[in-house]
Amino acid sequence: MIISLKTLIHFIQYAGFVIAHISNSTLLVLIFKRANKLFGGYRRVMAVFAFYSLIYTWIEIITQPIIQTHETLPIVIVMLDSPLKHETWIGNEIACLYCASFALVISLLAVQFYYRYIALCKETIMNYYEEDTRNSSFIGAIYYTVEQNGEKKWRITDVMGYLGCILINISCFTTILICAFKIKCNMKNSESSLSFKTKEINRQLFVTLLFQTLLPAVMMYTPVGIVMTLPFFRIGIGKLSSLVGVLLAIYPAIEPIIAIFCIKDFRRSIMCRNGNQYIKPISFAASSTAYN
């Protein structure tokens, strides 16, 4: 029996939904049960990101998006393929909500990096298919149309929407890079004044954030950026566009696994190893320096 591409995509979306709930729920339990003495107030930032991932999975499964580019026209379409796809009275709003929730991920990652930057780098703290679109919900961006005389007629609102997405990504990734550089420099300069435990925890958080940024860059923003940009050059990739939706469905299931296995105490808890010695309370000065 041959499985259609849509069926395969939906299977992956449902599997990602289930796994994401398991992995994010596990991470939230570890954050509130094990991270109190380790990360101080930063655990709340981690918890918000994990909780948002759960919200994102619900939006994604309600949408069950199919992303498509036109073979010859500068059009990008995000179409609902959930049971709500024919409910056009609310379907288009859900599609817009999905796009907005996708964009919020990079913003929350930038907030995490900025929080770590504030906690480590300020002086005072250092011291302490087959659908009829007429009956289905979808949103699409048409960058320009071509008149009969061959002249391009640009659709300013759609182009501005594209540029807005690019600007959000550039500003957030710039924030991440600047904060990452500052954090790395600060960690190197303060090595002699911090305890081994504090340095190790800071290193684990830094590595976790780097991987949590690299993952959506590879699985979310690069593929979506490519799909959004190709129509400018009238390049269509057909059904391959739908693979972007597959990656977006898998991402929330993988993201919390990074924190679980990069943070030593979380990893020990999952592997049922005794981590009590590792989470003994550290000194006030060290904890203030590391976490604020």
In this structure, how many other beta carbons lie within 10 angstroms of the beta carbon of residue 212? 23
- Rounded Cα distance between 18 and 2, Å, is 24
pLDDT category, 280, cuts 50, 70, 90?
A: very low
Is residue 143 over pLDDT 90? no
197-238 residue pLDDT tens? 878 888 888 888 888 888 888 888 888 778 877 777 777 676
Helix 222-229 / helix 242-262 crossing angle, nearest 10 deg: 160
pLDDT for 75 equals 67
Question: Where on the phi/psi map is residue 272: left (φ > 0), alpha (ψ -120 to 50), or beta?
Answer: left
Element holding 115 (H helix, E strand): helix 88-121
61-117 residue pLDDT tens? 998 887 777 666 566 777 788 888 888 778 888 888 887 787 777 777 777 776 766
The angle subtended at Cα 46 by Cα 116 and Cα 183, nearest 5°, is: 15
16-62 residue pLDDT tens? 999 999 999 999 888 888 776 667 677 788 888 889 889 989 998 99
Q: Which of 53, 116, 65 is nearest to 258 (CA)?
A: 53
Chain CA centroid to CA 51, Å:
12
Which residue matches tokens 């005794």?
Answer: 274
| More confident of the two residues 271 and 235 | 271
- Rounded Cα distance between 74 and 132, Å, is 20
pTM, two decimals, is 0.64
pLDDT for 230 equals 78
pLDDT for 291 equals 40
- Rounded Cα distance between 14 and 245, Å, is 12
Say if domain 5-291 classifies as CATH 1.20.1070.10. yes
